[in-house]
Structure 1
Amino acid sequence: MVRMESFPRIISVDDHTVEPSRVWQDRLPSKYREAGPRVVRAPLKEMSFVGGRFAPEMGQKGDSGPLVDWWVYEDLHRPLTRLDTAVGYAREEVRLEGITYEQMRPGSYDVRERLADMDVNHVQSALCFPTFPRFCGQTFTEARDRELGLLCVCAYNDWMVEEWCGPDAHGRLIPLALVPLWDAELAAEEVRRNAARGVRAVCFSEIPPYLGLPSIHGDAWDPFLRACEETGTVIAMHIGSSSRMPSTSKDAPPAVGSTVTFANCCFSMVDWLMSGKFDRFPGLRVMYAEGQIGWIPYILERADVVWEENRGWGGVADKVLQPPSELFAGHVYGCFFDDAFGLSNLDAIGVPNVLYETDYPHSDSTWPKSREVGEAQMGHLDAAVVERIVRGNAIELLGLTEDGLWAG
C-alpha cells in the first residue's frame, strides 16, 4: 500500500494552457497584427455541442446575450468556455457557457498562479497542450494565409519556450511545440528549431485524414518523422486532435462522446502499429493524452491475431516486421488520470508504457485531488511501480532531469 505521505510528486503529461490574450499580438510582425489572432469581448448569441460538433455564434454590439471573450482570426470566432477551464467549480456548476478571462482561475493562463495550483495538487511538473490553436494547431492548419499561419505557429512556440516555460516556471513547465501540419518539410524544420533549445515533444493529429491531411500509411510524413527520430522528439496526440470527437449521431448528447473519447486513440494506435513506421524509424516514440489505458490490452491482442493470421491479405506482412504488441512496447505510451480498470490490467499493458496526467484545468481534471485519486487507484501496486507511472516514465520519455525538471 502506497501511503499518501510517500506518494511521488506527480509529473503530468497532459495539462492545458489557456493562452494570454496578447500571445500573437506581441510577437507577430506589425503588418500581420490586425489579421493575427486577437481577443475581443462581444455577446454570445448561442452555443451548442451536439453530435461531437461545437457551434458558437458571436453577436454584435448591442445584441442580447452574455459578454464573452472571443478569439478572432480570419473567419474564426472562438469563445472562451467554461469547459476550457473548469477547475475551482463544482461538477454540477460546469456547463457549456462562454466566459471572460476574469471568470477563469488565473492558473489557467498565469505561470506563477499555475505553479501555485500545481503545489496544491502535489504536481511537480506539467506538459501543457494548447487551447486556441487546438490540440495540434488545427486552427493554423485550417487558415487560408499559410505565411501568417507559419508565423503564428512559430510565435506560439516562442511564447511556450520563452515565457510559459521560461525562467518564472523554474523548470516545472515542460514545453510542447506545434508544427505547420500542411507541410512536412516545414514541420521538420520547426521540430529541429525547437529541439535545438531543448524541446522534446510536439503535437500531432491522432487521425490526420480527418483534417484533410495525408495518412501515416504513405510517405508524406517521413521528413517530419525523421526529424522527430533524429532529435528524440516525442509525438504527442491528444483526444480531439483530429477536430472530430467520437459520437454516434448528429443528435447524440455530449455524454455519448465523453464516454467514448478513447475511440480515436484506439483507431490511431492501430494505424501506427500497422503502418510500418516503427520499423522504418526505430527511434520514434508516440504518446496518447487523455485516452486512458483500459482499452489497450484487447486491441494489442486483436492486432497480434490479425498480424499473424491475416498476413496473406492484410496488407502489412511486408512492412510490419514484428508483432504489434512488441511494437507497442517499444514505441507507444498511454496516459490516464482515472482508470482503475486499466491499472488492474497493468501487466497486459506494461508498466514502462504508462504515464500519469491531471488534465488541469479541464472539466475532467482531478485537481486538486490528483494525489488522492492516484493513491486510491494505485495503492495496491508496489512503490517502485507507482514511482515509474507517476513520474519515472515521463522523466525518461521527455528527457527531464533526475529531479523531474525541464532543463532547457
Structure 2
Amino acid sequence: MHTEMHTETPETFPRIISVDDHTVEPPHVWRDRLPAKYHDTGPRVVRAPLKEMTFVGGKFAPKMGAPGEDGPLVDWWIYEDLHRPLTRLDTAVGCSRDEIRLEGITYEQMRPGSYSVPERLADMDVNHVQSALCFPTFPRFCGQTFTEAKNRELGLLGVRAYNDWMVEEWCGPEAQGRLIPLALIPLWDAELAAQEVRRNAARGVRAVCFSEIPPHLGLPSIHTDYWDPFLRACDETGTVVAMHIGSSSKMPSTSADAPPAVGSTITFANCCFSMTDWLMSGTFERFPNLRIMYAEGQIGWIPYILERADVVWEENRGWGGVADKVRRPPSELFAGHIYGCFFDDAFGLKNLDAIGVGNVLYETDYPHSDSTWPKSREVGESQMGHLAPDVVERIVRGNAIDLLGLTADGRWPGPGAR
C-alpha cells in the first residue's frame, strides 16, 4: 500500500458531505455488546487460512481453511455457520489499481481509516470531505447477515448492538459530528423494525438501511402492506430509507460465468428496478413524508426511467394495476421523495435539469475500489464546472444537510437532536 499525496489548492469547491462511505467494523463491536452466552456464536473475528475465493456471476464464494492448512492468513468474521473474510475490495483506498484484486486481508493490511475514527477524519480532511454517512461491511448493506441467521433473538441483539456502536462510538464525541449515523433494522419483522427506527430516531438518527429489492432476500415486496409499520415509523420520524447497490444480496449480472466487470458496469440496474417499484407502489401516496435514497446507484439513467414511467402511467394505467393507487405522474413523486447518489457521473450532471437539482447527492465511496479518494474534490470540480456555484453547493452538501437533518455547517447534531 502507499499513501496518496494531495496538493492544497484554494478552497473554491464546497466541503463535501458524502452520503455513501463505509465503515469496516472493528473486531470488538459485538464481542463487547452481546450477552456472554452468545460469545461463541455471535459475530467475532478469527485469523485463518483462505483456501479459495471466487466472485463470478454476481456471487461471492470464499472457503476457509483449517489451522495449519495452506493459504494466506486472513481475518474472518465468524457468525453461527457463516465464515466471511475481510477482502481487499472492502478497503481498497491507498492501493494502486493494479494492487486491487479479489484477495483476503487482515486488519493490519487495510488503511486504518477504514475502522479507526481519528484516521478516518484525517483521510476525510485529505479528501476535502467534511462529513460522511457510512454503510456497514460485515452486516452487509442492509443487515442481511442478521436476517439470514438462524437465531432470531441473537439476530435482533446483533442489529441493536451494531446501532449502539454506530451511535455511541463510530459517531460518538471523537467524531466531532463529522460521521453521520446510519441504522440497521431487523428485516424479518416489520413491527420490530419500526421499533428500532423509533429507538434510534429518539437519539437523533435520521437514516436507516433497507433492501433495494426485498424479495431477493425472501421478504415481501413493497407492493404489499407488510412494510407499513416500518414505513410509518420512517414517515413520522423523518427517517430516510437508504438503499445501497447490492442490498438485495444479488448484484446484477447476465450469466453465471460473467466476470465481475460485467456486474460492476451495470451496478445501477438494481436501483433502476427498485425505483420503478417504489414509483408504481402507491407508497408515497400513503406516506407523504417518506423519502428514499439510492447509494452508489449513479444518476445518468434516471431521466429516461422517469420519462418511461410517466408514459406508462398516462397511457397504460387502466390495465397496468396502478390506476387506483398512483394518483400523480411518477416524475412528480420522484421530485418529492427520491434522491440519487453519485460519485462519478459526468453524463448525469450534463442532464441535471431532467433529474432535478434538489434530488441529487454526492458521495466518495471511501474505502471501496470505486472510491474517488483522495481526489473527490478534483472529480467534482471537473464534472460540475458547467454548473452555477449555488447548484454545486446544493449537490455537494446542501441537499444532504436538508435530507439528514444536519447543522448549517454540515455536522450531525448528536444524540437526541431532531
Same fold (TM over 0.5): yes
Alignment-derived partner of residue 317 in structure 1: 323
Match of 2:187 in 1: 181
Deviations 1:345-383 (A, max 9, x none): 000000000000000000000000000000000011100
Q: 2:75 aligned with 1:69, yes or no?
A: yes
1:136 aligns with 142
The within-5 A match list for 1:214-233 is 214-233=220-239
Q: What whole-Å deviation, never above 9, does each CA across 1:317-342 have from its counterpart, x for those lacking one?
A: 00000000000000000000000000
- Helix, strand or coil at the partner of 1:365: coil
- Give the corresponding residue for 1:398: 404
1:169 alignment counterpart: 175
Gaps of 5+ in 1: none
Rounded Cα–Cα distance in structure 1 between residues aligned with 2:240 and 2:295:
12
TM-score normalised to the size of structure 2?
A: 0.97
Q: Which residue of 1 aligns with 2:55?
A: 49
Deviation at 1:5, TM superposition (A): 2.4
Q: Is the 8 A contact 1:140 1:149 kept in 2?
A: yes
Give the drift of 1:311. Answer: 1.3
Counterparts of 2:278 and 2:287, CA distance in 1:
12
Residues 11 and 357 of structure 1 are in contact (CA less than 8 Å); yes or no, is this contact kept in structure 2? yes
Where 2:313 maps in the other structure, the secondary structure is helix
Which deviations, in whole Å up to 9, do the C-alpha atoms of 1:255-304 show, x marking residues without a partner?
00000000000000000000000000000000000000000000000000
Partner of 1:115: 121
SS at match of 1:68: strand
Instruction: For 1:279, give the aligned amino acid.
Output: E
Query: Which residue of structure 1 lines up, in the alignment, with residue 265 of structure 2?
Result: 259
Partner of 2:4: none
Structure 2 CA distance, aligned partners of 1:346 and 1:380?
Answer: 11
Corresponding position of 1:203: 209
User: Match for 1:119: what amino acid?
Assistant: D
2:66 matched to which residue of 1? 60
Moved more, 29-38 or 65-74: 29-38
Q: Deviations over 1:68-113 (max 9, x none)?
A: 0000001100000000000000111100000000000000000000
Shift of 1:390: 0.1
1:178-233: CA deviation from partner (whole Å, max 9, x where unpaired)? 00000000000000000000000000000000000000001000000000000000
Q: How far 1:246 sits from its partner (Å)?
A: 0.1
Q: CA deviation at 1:33?
A: 1.4
- Report the counterpart of residue 341 of structure 1 in structure 2: 347
Distance in structure 2 (CA, Å) of the matches to 1:231 and 1:5: 36
SS of equivalent to 2:340: strand
Shift of 1:136: 0.1
Number of positions where the alignment pairs a residue of Structure 1 with one of Structure 2: 406
Alpha carbons 1:51, 1:248 under 8 Å: kept? yes
1:22 to 12, 24, 28: 28
Counting aligned pairs with the same residue, the percent is 86
Matched, 1:355 2:361: yes
Shift of 1:6: 1.1
Counterparts of 1:186 and 1:4, CA distance in 2: 49
Letter paired with 2:297:
G
CA RMSD of aligned residues (A): 0.6
The runs of at least 4 aligned residues of structure 1 exceeding 2 Å deviation read none
Are 2:230 and 1:191 aligned? no
What secondary structure does 1:69 align onto?
strand
Query: For 1:94, which of 94, 100, 106 is the aligned residue?
Result: 100
CA distance in 2, matches of 1:5, 1:127: 22
Counterpart of 2:332 in structure 1 is 326
User: Distance between the aligned counterparts of 2:166 and 2:154, measured in 1?
Assistant: 18
Query: 1:42 and 1:223 mapped to 2: Cα distance?
Result: 42
Cα drift, residue 4 of structure 1 = 5.6
Query: Given residue 176 of structure 2, which amino acid in structure 1 is its aligned partner?
Result: H
User: CA–CA distance in 1 between the matches of 2:391 and 2:177?
Assistant: 25
Q: Structure 2 CA distance, aligned partners of 1:313 and 1:285? A: 28
> Counterpart of 1:151?
157
1:381 maps to which of 384, 387, 408: 387
Seen in structure 2, the aligned counterparts of structure 1 residues 144 and 373 have a Cα distance that, compared at 3 Å, is: same
* Per-residue Cα deviation, 1:132-190 (whole angstroms, up to 9, x for no partner): 00000000000000000000000000000000000000000000000000000000000
What amino acid sits opposite 1:32 in the alignment? Answer: Y
